[in-house]
Structure 1
């Protein structure tokens, strides 16, 4: 089957849509795939594949996309969204401008932005996408060891443009543990007060209640942050700080955010079951942990956080 621009346009239109949307249904019908299913906690993702066309359509109820957070149920099943379409040979339809199967690394470097992702350093090339909510990526399954003159890509991914979720404060979790996200709120407030967060989302007016201490840290996380601190909330120069210190990526245990929580509060509220022992949502406790965050931030700025392997 020789595919035309109509199939390509259907794929772009289906990204980010519910599996039962007109766009999703039209794509599945056009390629002759089995219908995608709604998912349950026991069956939490789904995909449909047409190997003869080289097309795999994947869906999830939890894409890292604000409009779909938190995941939603309708009766017993979760709402499921098409979040990725993978193209591999023998796909014969439209590809990003300048792209073809068998393209070499120098050719890819000339037309797309290169980066490494994942623990195995798999190379990715990101193309200019047709819309803000869509990402186009070429990647290879081998470990960047291909010769320059050999084919560098064996997959094209059409994906929903998502974020990384640093903090996601689920309201349902707080029913049984109302203070469970207090330390997360302290960290978020420190970031807001110290210029780490995106200034277009967190304007001076938004941050003013924190400077005046007229709201508690947890109230700020619930309110102005919408219970989220995701990658688009953070100014790009400080994403490395989030990954290194807050997430503890490749950092010795004693230098990580969780270690500073333990030093100041004994343990995170995530691990405390006695409500009387919970760290309280107040500015006194914020003032106990804030200097530790500031010290780590200064260490990061000076390049003194000792990342393992360097």
Structure 2
């Protein structure tokens, strides 16, 4: 009887803990989403009625996010950078997966640790290091050869290179995990039947990796889109959305339009994350 009571008490405590944990995670998101629909000039209580002005209104003082040119420009740059980073990261991550899963070369474990090292380096340190290295290279080439390497100056390309340096680690791990489950006998059978290496890769291996490739692309896009600390040190005049929102907060303070942007990002990120989970599910066995 005592054991049963202890088990019930433990189960109740565990459920209360999980409830408190999820409330802690969800409360800021719910608050941000709620104030995006409050008919008030300030993101605070009391509730003054439901409105969509912070999304669609085209006049001040309630200029909606879809009519705010600066926010839309930031959204465009974030999407552009995200597409470039995720596409490049998936390509290199696929090459890394084949290299580390199937390859056998000296100091393999060392290079594997070197590949995953960016994940444990703070983003601020990573951003500063990349900025210093790129500036030194650009200044050295300019001083000695008189060539201006614009892509090594703060701007979109340097942001892409900076984010790629750690996002590619994520894609490499995701794709490697899928590749380890591949049955190599399928490739051997296709080769014995006369297929070329390229045909085997195109018709057998890559279709098997497709769910991981899609999931890795989505995850890397989300990581790139929301990145702030690394991007802050590498950005130029083409500021992505995270930097634009930070600058707006620093100059104007919190406004409901930023809550509208947050709600838009929460919904968009949630849908992409859901797609990522769905595409990685194995088909039901018949």
Q: Under a length normalisation based on structure 2, what TM-score does the superposition of the two structures give?
A: 0.23
Task: Compare the two structures and name the one with the higher helix fraction.
Answer: 2
Q: Under a length normalisation based on structure 1, what TM-score does the superposition of the two structures give?
A: 0.22
Task: Compare the two structures and name the one with the higher strand fraction.
Answer: 1
Q: Which structure has more RCO (C-alpha within 8 Å, separation ≥ 6)?
A: 2
Give the number of the structure whose alpha-carbon radius of gyration is greater: 2
